[in-house]
Copies of this chain bind each other. A is one copy, B any other.
Amino acid sequence: MNIDARSIIDAPQLRSAAEQLRPDADPGEVVARAAWSVLLEPGDGVAGALIAVHGAVAALQLALGEPGLLVPEEISPRALADARSRWHPRAKAEAVKEALSSCREVGGQILLPDDEDWPRGLDDLGAHAPQVLWARGDPGVLHEGATASIVGARAATGYGESVAAEIAGDLASSGTTIISGGAYGIDGAAHRAALGSGGKTAAFLAGGVDRAYPIGHQQLFDRIRASGVVMSEVPCGGAPTKWRFLQRNRLIAASGMATVVVEAGWRSGSLNTAGHAAALGRPIGAVPGPVTSAASAGCHRLLREYDAVCVTNAQEVRELWGEQPDPASAAVRADPEQIRLLDALSSRAPRETAELARRSGLAMDRVRSLLGLLALDGAVTQHERGWQRTP
C-alpha cells in the first residue's frame, strides 16, 4: 500500500494551518513534522534515522510509499517494512490538520528541532529524539541557566513532598529551571515550589498539551503555562498511554542537566526516567529516606543498582553538574597525636611534660612541640607546675 505524501504536505488546508501557527517557518516542513507527530509513537528510531538523513519532508515521502530515496544502512528492509505498516494506518490528512488547528485553538505553538527555543539536551537522544514539540507557555525557560529534572512517586509521603519542595524551591530561586512531569505527588510539589519561589518550571506531558492530565492539576498547568512551559511530543488530543508515559520520561531525563528522584516505589516510573538519564550519561541523584518507607525503596534501589548519587539538599544537586561546594563546609581533620595529647591533659590540674608523655604515649620532644602549637591556639595554658587544658 502506497500513500502519496504530497497529498498531505501540499494540501492547501494544511499549509494554511501551518502558516497560521508558524508564519516564520517553511509550511512544508511544519506540515511534515506535524504529520510525523501524528504517525509516530514517541521514540520511533526508524523514523528518526530516516528524517536525520533525508529531512522530514522527503522521509515522509519514503515512509508513505514513494520509492527512489536511499534508506540509511542501519535500517534493515524488514525494520522499514514493519515501520511503514505501523505508520500507514495513521496517515490521514484530516488528523494532521486536526493536530495543527487544535494546537492553535489552545494558543499553543509548534517547536521544530532547529528552533532557537528547542531544548538542546533532547539532541542527545539521537534517532530517538522527538521530531516536534507542542508547547504552551514560554519554551525559553529551558535556555536561561541550569536545568534540573525533579521527579518521583505519585503516591508520595509528606516527607517526600516536603523535601521535593525544599530542593526545588531552593534551586528555582537561584535560577535553575525545574523540569518535571506534572503528576500528583513529587512532580506537583516540585513544580509548585518552583512557582512559589518565583522561579521557572517546565512540565513534559505524556498526552496532548490541550488536556490536563491528571485533571486535578488543571490549575497547576495553568500556572506553569503562565510563567513557564507545558510541552509534549504527542499532538493535541493524544491520550496519555502507558507507553507514552515511559517515552515522555526520556524527554524529562534528556532536557535536565541532572535527574533527581525524590521518592519512588520499588517499580516506580521514576526509575525509568532515571534509567533514561543514565543511558544519556546524565548524572542521577536519589534522595534517601527511611528504609521503613516503601515510598523511598526506589530511591534506595537507585543508590544500590544505578550508581545514583545520594543527594540531601539543593547544593548537592548542583554538585551533580559540577558546581563546587562552599569550601567552608569541607571537614577539617584533627591531628591524631594532638588528640592523644589533649586526652592526656587535664582541665582541672596542671601536669608536667613527663607525665603527659607517659599518659599520651608520645615522645617527650613531640609533647613539647605539640604543647607549643596548642598554646598558640589557646587550647592549653602553662603553669608553674606544668600544663593544663584551657577550660
Query: Which residues from chain A sit less than 8 Å from chain B, CB to CB?
Result: 39-41, 44, 81-83, 85-87, 89-90, 159, 162-163, 241-243, 246, 267, 287-292, 296-297, 299-300, 303-304, 309-313, 316, 331, 336, 339-340, 342-344, 354, 357-358, 360-366
Contact = CB atoms under 8 A, between A and B. Distances in A.
Contact of A336 (B81, B90, B246, B331): B246
A296 B162 CA distance: 17
Contact of A365 (B85, B288, B291, B342): B85
A288 B309 contact: no
Contacts of A162: 292
A287 B267 CA distance: 20
A358 B89 contact: yes
Which of the listed residues A246, A343, A361 has the most CB atoms from chain B within 10 Å of its own CB? Answer: A361
Counting every copy of the chain, the complex holds 2
B309 A304 contact: yes
B241 A340 contact: yes
Nearest to A81: B363
Contacts of A360: 41, 243
A342 B303 contact: no
A90 B310 contact: no
Contacts of A90: 358, 361
Contacts of A309: 304
Given A89-B358, A288-B289, A343 B304 contact: no
A39 B89 CA distance: 88
Closest 4 CB pairs of A and B: A288-B288, A41-B361, A85-B363, A303-B310
A304 B288 contact: no
B303 A303 contact: yes
Contacts of A89: 354, 357-358
A339 B159 contact: no
A183 B364 CA distance: 33
A366 B84 CA distance: 12
A58 to B, nearest CB: 22
B290 A310 contact: no
Contacts of A297: 312
Contacts of A85: 357, 363-365
Please indicate which of the listed interface residues A39, A288, A340, A358 has the most CB atoms of chain B within 10 Å of its own CB: A288
Given A310-B304, A340-B243, A354-B89, A159 B290 contact: yes
A7 B211 CA distance: 93
A33 to B, nearest CB: 17
Contacts of A287: 291
17 contacts: A82-B363, A82-B365, A85-B364, A86-B362, A89-B354, A163-B292, A242-B339, A242-B342, A246-B339, A288-B288, A288-B310, A289-B290, A291-B312, A291-B313, A303-B303, A303-B310, A310-B310
Given A82-B366, A246-B339, 17 more contacts: A39-B361, A41-B360, A82-B363, A82-B365, A86-B362, A86-B366, A89-B357, A89-B358, A159-B290, A162-B292, A242-B339, A288-B288, A288-B290, A288-B310, A289-B289, A291-B313, A304-B316
